[in-house]
Amino acid sequence: MCGLLGLICQNESDAADARAAVQNAMRCQRHRGPDEHGAQHRGEAVFGFNRLSLIDLEHSHQPLSWGPPDEPNRYTMVFNGEIYNYLELRAELADRFGAAFATDGDGETILAAYHHLGPSAVGRLRGMFAFLIWDSKRKVIFGARDPFGIKPLYYAVGANGVVFSSEKKSILELADVAGLRPSLDRTALQHYLVLQYVPEPESLHREIRRIESGTSFTVSPGGQLVTERYFSPQFTSRPISTPGDSARLHHEIAEVMRDSVAKHMRADVTVGSFLSGGIDSTAIAALAKQHNPDLITFTTGFERQGYSEVDVAAESAAAIGVKHVVRTVSADEMMAAMPLIVWYLDDPVADPALVPLWFIAREARKHVKVVLSGEGADELFGGYTIYREPLSLKAFEKVPGALRKAMGRVSTRIPEGTRGKDLLRRGALSLEERYYGNARIFRDDQLREVLRTFDPHVGHQDITAGPYRVSADWDPVTRMQHVDLFTWLRGDILVKADRVTMANSLELRVPFMDPEVFKIASQIPLEEKITRETTKHALRRALAEIVPAHVLNRRKLGFPVPLRLWLRAEMYDWARGIVNDSKTDELIDKRAVLRLLDEHRSETLDHSRRIWALLMFMIWHGIFVENRIKVDVPEPQYPVKI
């Protein structure tokens, strides 16, 4: 796990001159790799790298050069991530092509695969990754990002070259060298306030974008960036006609999860596991324990009734037989940490769960260098409660279109907070109109009140139209899953997981986010995903002999945050201060925000998620636009080897 930076200049002289600037810009992401640092130029390409050493600790230094015997240093690569099938793939490359390797790491496997198999090699990689390969013979960069978007890769095309980076901060540091003039993207801001994250490929800087998940690309000095999607998730539905069919499916799920966890445990350092009170992380921890008898698990919570899964996680840890570490978080700690957390994020993510995740990552890094976690299970196996919404809205499908629209108009006249208002409003809408992910922060009517730059032509369908078009013939639940793979998962879940763990120089691995797991999950029929009683039906049955009974059918809370209560009490003055100090008047109606805050405090309505989204943006703006909020970023100080 590492941080990379690449600058493709117009000529070799410019590349040589830019080397020192690239090395300096890498300091912004030194937390991603405190073990080693390096920068070098190869022809028109300049690479910077920070390494977190996990495999082949004494070798596999980056930037990494490799080539066939007659061209030993033809390729140079910087690579962030892990390839979990690298041992099998390098054995195949050696057998088929006589490929030779000088290290025991996974990086050379990528280079050899690219040399012998070409761009199609990226489809053979089982792991999480973002990489850049400079081919000195053809003078071209080839790069790619993993199928689900676990690892980040920003890019910007400037007047003086193209720059790629694991973190946007480093691109901002190189703006002058690359010939960039970054500016705020107001469309991205509007998307953020609806979705609670900035959707790919956008960022809050108009000139800086992201390589999308499942995408490879090429670019030459002075040439155009050309992208190609190599992974397009497809859901099918395996017919289940007999109890034997169902049992076989459950067995396959259990076996592919055993295999995925086994491969995700590959490391030359200690691996631990996050543990909440739900089935996903519990299953990962239970399977990991089979490979590491001394496994340590980690959980976090708050000292408020109903906002902690600490007791359930501790019971699970005892049942599994692992050492367990707990970290509780106070409101004061949360408020104090927010500017630093936002700085690490690069763009705001208004998911309160990232805060306890940040604190438990800090605690875990005292004990281990790698943790496993359960992200992705809900999207692949049908775990979100909202996936049951098509069942609850089925009656609306029988209502004629004109009457449904009339029902929607009636819902607008019902006072906010009235029971049934949102059901009526959503029942009047088509799936494409109503569903755009788990978080729905501001509706258009609410957004008009706070956003001075509101554009009625910008909406969630700008983001969801493509996934919905591809899935037109699928059932509603599977279409929702498909949308989430392109929106919620890669915009919120995986972003917060990567940023807050890497902020603490901790590698997080997600065994559910595996191509082989997806192959099985994508075949699960609707009746094995959602029932009237439960979600993730097939996964629960598959894991029945792996996880303790007390979590098998328990509703997941994750790491819940008492935000609604704190914004009425401990956090009220803090939040009001952020709004008053913010220089966002051109963008946000601050009086409207303060009204939301006061309405929330009086318990008239629950505005907590909307307030939080605005606060996160205002902190971000204070750091990255106003330069008013100064963040004291600590130097990574961890044991180099654990």
Q: What is the DSSP string of 378-399?
A: HHHHT--GGGGHHHHTGGGGGS
Can you give the pLDDT at residue 309? 76
Can you give the pLDDT at residue 603? 93
Residue 639: inside a domain: no
Residues 213 and 308 reside in one and the same domain:
no
Residue 541: inside a domain: yes
Residues 39 and 158 reside in one and the same domain:
yes
Cα distance between the two ends of the chain: 15
Beta strands in 261-322 (DSSP E): 271-274, 296-301
Residue 640: inside a domain: no
2 is catalytic: yes
Residue 78: inside a domain: yes
Q: Rounded to whole angstroms, how far apart are CA atoms 480 and 428?
A: 18
Query: The whole model's pTM is what?
Result: 0.95
Q: Among the three residues 485, 512, 535, which one is the final residue of a domain in this structure?
A: 485
Instruction: Flag whether 373 is marked binding.
Output: yes
Tally of domains in the chain: 4
2, 171, 538, 571: the catalytic one is 2
Residue 636: inside a domain: no
Residues 203 and 134 reside in one and the same domain:
yes
The rounded Cα 310 to chain-centroid distance in angstroms is: 24
Q: Rounded to whole angstroms, how far apart are CA atoms 527 and 523?
A: 12
Instruction: Flag whether 214 is marked binding.
Output: no
Q: The domain that contains 74 carries what CATH number?
A: 3.60.20.10
CA dihedral 276, 278, 279, 283 (to 10 degrees): 0
Q: Is the peptide bond before 119 cis (omega within 30 degrees of 0)?
A: no
Residues 68 and 208 reside in one and the same domain:
yes
Residues 512 and 576 reside in one and the same domain:
no
Q: Among the three residues 434, 466, 485, which one is the final residue of a domain in this structure?
A: 485
Can you give the pLDDT at residue 640? 41
Contacts with 249 (C-beta within 8 Å, 6 or more apart), sequence order: 238, 240, 520, 523, 524, 528, 538, 542
Half-sphere exposure of 284 (CA within 13 A, CB side): 31
Q: The domain that contains 365 carries what CATH number?
A: 3.40.50.620
Residues 592 and 467 reside in one and the same domain:
no
Residues of the chain scoring pLDDT < 50: 640-642
Q: Rounded to whole angstroms, how far apart are CA atoms 386 and 395?
A: 16
Residue 327: inside a domain: yes
Residue 642: inside a domain: no
Residues 6 and 149 reside in one and the same domain:
yes
Can you give the pLDDT at residue 484? 97
Residues 496 and 515 reside in one and the same domain:
yes
Can you give the pLDDT at residue 146? 98
The answer to whether 608 touches 596, Cβ cutoff 8 Å, is no
- Cα-based distances in Å from 221 to 11, 24, 202, 210: 7, 22, 24, 19
Residues 220 and 247 reside in one and the same domain:
no
Starting at the edge strand found earlier in the chain, the sheet holding 75-83 runs 64-66, 75-83, 127-135, 140-145, 215-219, 226-229
Residues 221 and 253 reside in one and the same domain:
no
Residue 631: inside a domain: no
Residues 480 and 496 reside in one and the same domain:
no
The answer to whether 498 touches 356, Cβ cutoff 8 Å, is no
Instruction: Provide the domain limits for residue 446.
Output: 388-485
The rounded Cα 622 to chain-centroid distance in angstroms is: 24
Residues 537 and 613 reside in one and the same domain:
no
Q: Please report which helix (H) or strand (E) contains residue 56, including its range.
A: none
